[in-house]
Chain A
Amino acid sequence: MIVIQGSNMAECHPVGFQWVMEAKLRGAKIIHVDPRFTRTSALADIHVPIRAGTDIAFLGGIVNHILQNDRWFEEYVRHYTNAAVILDEGFEDTEDLDGFFSGWEPDRGQYDNSTWSYAGTGPVAAGGHKEQGAAVSGEQAHGAHGITLERGRPPQEDETMQHPRCVLQVLKRHCSRYTPEMVERICGIPRELFLEVAEALCENSGRERTGAFCYAVGWTQHTVGVQYIRTAAIVQLLLGNMGRPGGGILALRGHANIQGSTDIPTLYNILPGYIPMPHGHSAGSLDAFVRSNAPETGAWGSMKAYLVSMLKAWFGDAATGRDEFGFGWLPRIDGDHSNYATFDRMLDGEVKGFFAVGENPAVGSANGKLHRLALSRLEWLVVRDTTMVETATFWKDSPEIETGELRPEEIATEVFFLPAAAHTEKDGSFTNTQRLLQWHRKAVEPKGDARSDLQWIYDLGRRIRRRLAASNEGRDRGILALTWDYPTQGPHGEPDAEAVLREIGGRRADGTFVARYEELADDGSTSCGSWIHAGICADGVNQAARRKPGGEQSWVAPEWGWAWPANRRILYNRASADAAGRPWSERKRFVWWDERQGRWTGHDAPDFVAEKPPGHRPQGGAKGMEALRGDEPFIVQSDGRGWLFVPTGLMDGPLPTHYEPHESPFPNPLYEQGQNPVRQRFHRRENPYNPTFPDQGWEVFPYVLTSYRLTEHHTAGGMSRSVAYLSELQPELFCEVSPELAAERGLEHGGWATIVTSRTAIEARVLVTDRIRPLRAEGRAVHQVGLPYHWGGRGLVTGDVVNDLFPLALDPNVHIQEAKAATCDIRPGRRPRGPALLALVEGYRRRAQGRGTP
């Protein structure tokens, strides 16, 4: 059974969807939960229409169904999750505090999470209680990698799971309000349909069967996005669907290699392999950093080995124990430097220069106008892309030129456009949703001045190092100490990508390649650019380039490419066996304890210490992996358990709970508190918000607005609007509306409509379709307007920028925008041109403020 929710998998991941179709041919049931009936729904067994932005209520309803009807996998839950752990006495739930968890600090608009902990353990999050107040994301603020179990190990537990403060009972009470009736009320899903899905999921879970969830940005792009995924994690842990074949929660990434660019991050707050970026406030010694950012137990107990090996890979011989392997040379962060926060400061003139590499924020970011205005305040802008994208030409053809808000002659930004090589024109790897790396080789040389990103960043580094060569400044030492000496090849002097891969994959002191991350040491004797990738060059072979056909190896196909960590194809696969190490069933046999050999074995590489028997109990004071028992499969957690309740790591609560989207035409029937109280907002003139229910003027924007992608185009369009064969397939921006909404607003099929929010108004062709239907929520009909976001002002086919409609309202943990649920109005006809457009939007804003007449 596969539940696809928050994803239009057939359209946005058609290649991956072939495996869903393969599963369907073998009898798997496919369920698609989505506001629209899409190409995914067309191939699913059941389509469940849902009001955009209400998935937690739906999933919470499933949790409630599981718990109320005793459908949970008791043995799995008891052994492998923190269900039995007793919580701190000080913890209070949203159900008791009308939408807030304990620790709410209204003055700061933040939570103090000290009560969200286990009874008898230290209240301080591993990771930076000190940094909690800083404007950094959840990982820094609350510690990403698990609580420090300072007192008492194991934590206080009630094996019977009856203690009123044990996690299972707290969860049961927390979700008890998500009844089928409440799901119907909030989500607009008929209760019979909801129950059909909930039952199907239960029936397809347990010893003999497993079910999987697939999600994408339909879950993440919300002000409670992280908690959507948390709710799914609770469902899957209760049903025993983690670490087992056919189970899991699959994050379908936005486009090819987004996973890779998270693992070796383009993010400001993590280093390769999810090691937190050091913070200026906690600038101390290497040991102090490790102490405050990693738990002592579990796989993260060896963070120092991972970090020191990374420093050795970066700084080579210059990294010695005397200067903490160059830890002090790493840059420090001092606050929120995520994408939107950076543009916010750019608009205030606080950012001088900006590199946009493979990114088109003028089209792809929420509130495009704010972004284009911000770009006009830069001194310089470098855009690297395969085509001339709107971000590079904002100064001459952005919508603000037409409205008169920007004038080219007044923009001082110097723009450099550097043509980039496409993936076919360079060597490298793609990492997919399974963490599987597949190496690809250059097919043709890039044309003209186009160069690979690797060559560009390598050249940039060389130039900077030349400029700094004579510097004695402490701040430059790190840059000068880098091992920046990759061999080059080909007509353009392209760096050898495999040389970079070898640096990432790790070496021993004698220069031979490490086979797995467990080999890494904290004394400088190993180097490894990314600990999770340790072993990708084992035996000197580019393991990611392996291409043994599936028919010539086992069904797990371990010799096709390479998956991090240690080529394990399913994470936490120790959970595919019971506490005693026996497969839960013959049918779902995957990894098990071989008593005769005295080791874990199976179809996959065991995600566990190979020789640790199931009955192992750690000695007091044990650290790292040694500290985990033989029946604790979730090895990157400090306690080896799957977390139903998350004591640390999240900004907005240890349990997920339903909040309405930032802009919503409905109240939250659960609490007086309508929205996620810690959602990130930007209160400024350039980012006006629509009034939300029940604030005055909410009815000026009565419809739910959602955005999405089509198969025929690629994200912000740079790679598809320039290709005729793709452009002709979806040549114009259109909006999808139901026949009922079309009738209500006088929209004509094939004609034009103007969609309005407080930010701007855009125009689109009208596609009236039964595939988008009004739902009944809170006792009244709600209309939804759907808009694919691929168009912009340049290319073979052009159109208005859909993201211009959305506000900057972000998830507090990961700073992602809410572009899947907002409010809008829609009216027939094309939008006004020039300054008249501003007047139209201003008119709406005045009406919403009660200052104008319709």
Chain B
Amino acid sequence: MSAVPETAARQPRAWPGAYGDEARPRVGFFTDTSVCIGCKACEVACKEWNRVHDSIQGFSGSSYDNTLALGANTWRHVAFIEQRKPAALDGEAAADSLVQLAARRQLADEAGVETHEGEGIRWLMSSDVCKHCTEAACLDVCPTGALFRTEFGTVVVQEDVCNGCGYCVPACPFGVLDRREGDGRVWKCTLCYDRLRDDQEPACAKACPTDSIQFGELDELRERADARLAELHAAGQGEALLYGADPGDGVGGFGAFFLLLDEPEVYGLPPDPVAATRRIGGVWSAVGAAAAALAAGIAAAFLGGRR
């Protein structure tokens, strides 16, 4: 997927190593959107437990979604996508995804072939959350240490340390990090750090009635997700895919990953997220080379001057 070269370990920096004996198995979420009923119990449970501010924004007209995106006051967000079922070219099976569909339409237009709209409709629902990336750029750019990697391998903002500089906001490839108006500090999902320390699962997973949000040790969740994906594929849902389950992706895999029924773009998720800080190593070597060249030039100039 990614053009970025593999790093050696695919483990978060500062975990488990920095914790020594106190390190706990890395935990996360597997959000299986194929069983999400869009009840938003996760949004409410998250806010109740974490005392997140409410923000009544009014009717959005965006299907049943009136909170619209993850942000300082929305740490779990349920997206609603209404679709006509993917259309098909004459004589062909329906497209698996809207992206595929768009490509086919273009093809059809160019070739002057008839297409026909799918009969039914689809209503996709998906509960989004901070991905708790293996390589978390937000954490790398934080100058105060407010963002840190916990003993569970999760990424948490310490509200009493954050100075509101906002460097992390553009660093996040998902737009998760957000400064709260009138406060200035950054707020996001903590994966219920306080609950984890009490051996409780996060509030959203606890509230989810259909187990669309599953909490657990990341390794086990990935196995579960592979099995579920195979099950759906066997049942003819070829469009199902895992998003963020691959440690080889641009952020080293998500701590909170997803099973989607369409391409990530359809859900408003980046198809190929990359940690912005990944290239910093490369940048520094270029800077080093340039500095060396400059130094050589200066030395040459001086040396030349002596001549």
A39 touches B209 (CB 8 A): no
Is B48 interfacial (CB-CB < 8 Å)? yes
Which of chain A's residues have a CB closer than 8 A to the CB of B124? 42
Is B302 interfacial (CB-CB < 8 Å)? no
Contacting residues of chain A (713-760) with chain B, CB-CB under 8 angstroms: 724-732, 734, 749-750
* Alpha-carbon separation in the docked complex, A765 to B58 (Å): 10
Which of chain A's residues have a CB closer than 8 A to the CB of B79? none
B64 touches A730 (CB 8 A): yes
Chain B residue nearest in CB terms to A724: B54
Min CB gap A534→B, angstroms: 33
For B54, give its contact among A37, A728, A766 (CB under 8 Å).
A728
Chain B residue nearest in CB terms to A751: B61
Known: A731-B57, A767-B61. A18 touches B210 (CB 8 A): yes
* Alpha-carbon separation in the docked complex, A727 to B56 (Å): 7
Which of chain A's residues have a CB closer than 8 A to the CB of B56? 724, 727-728, 731, 796-797
Residue-wise interface mask of A (170-210) relative to B, using a CB-CB cutoff of 8 A (1 in contact, 0 not) = 00000000000000000000000000000000000000000
Contacting residues of chain B (117-138) with chain A, CB-CB under 8 angstroms: 120-125
Is A47 interfacial (CB-CB < 8 Å)? yes
Residue-wise interface mask of B (43-55) relative to A, using a CB-CB cutoff of 8 A (1 in contact, 0 not) = 1100110000011
* Alpha-carbon separation in the docked complex, A15 to B56 (Å): 25
* Alpha-carbon separation in the docked complex, A588 to B122 (Å): 34
For B48, give its contact among A15, A17, A725, A769 (CB under 8 Å).
A725
B123 touches A729 (CB 8 A): no
Which of chain B's residues have a CB closer than 8 A to the CB of A287? none
Chain B residue nearest in CB terms to A27: B235
Which of chain A's residues have a CB closer than 8 A to the CB of B141? none
B41 touches A14 (CB 8 A): yes
* Alpha-carbon separation in the docked complex, A40 to B123 (Å): 10
User: How many chain-A residues does the 8 Å CB contact rule pick out?
Assistant: 38
* Alpha-carbon separation in the docked complex, A450 to B123 (Å): 42
Contacting residues of chain A (691-715) with chain B, CB-CB under 8 angstroms: 710-712
| Interface of A (DSSP majority class) | mixed
Is B67 interfacial (CB-CB < 8 Å)? yes
Min CB gap B291→A, angstroms: 53
B35 touches A726 (CB 8 A): no
Which of chain B's residues have a CB closer than 8 A to the CB of A522? none
Among the interface residues B44, B120, B209, which one has the most CB atoms of the partner chain A within 10 A? B209
For A39, give its contact among B54, B84, B125 (CB under 8 Å).
B125
Is A75 interfacial (CB-CB < 8 Å)? no
A731 touches B122 (CB 8 A): no
Known: A727-B56, A728-B67, A731-B66. A771 touches B123 (CB 8 A): yes
B210 touches A711 (CB 8 A): no
Residue-wise interface mask of A (8-28) relative to B, using a CB-CB cutoff of 8 A (1 in contact, 0 not) = 001100110110010001000
Residue-wise interface mask of A (765-791) relative to B, using a CB-CB cutoff of 8 A (1 in contact, 0 not) = 111011100000000000000000000
Contacting residues of chain B (1-24) with chain A, CB-CB under 8 angstroms: none
Among the interface residues A17, A37, A710, A728, which one has the most CB atoms of the partner chain B within 10 A? A728
Is B194 interfacial (CB-CB < 8 Å)? no
* Alpha-carbon separation in the docked complex, A14 to B48 (Å): 19
Which of chain A's residues have a CB closer than 8 A to the CB of B226? none
Chain B residue nearest in CB terms to A765: B59
> 18 A-B contacts, Cβ less than 8 Å apart?
A10-B37, A14-B39, A17-B210, A21-B210, A21-B211, A39-B123, A42-B37, A42-B124, A725-B48, A725-B54, A726-B44, A729-B66, A729-B67, A731-B56, A731-B66, A750-B59, A766-B61, A769-B63
Listed in ascending order, the chain B residues whose CB lies under 8 Å from chain A are 35, 37-41, 43-44, 47-48, 54-59, 61, 63-64, 66-67, 82, 84, 120-125, 209-211
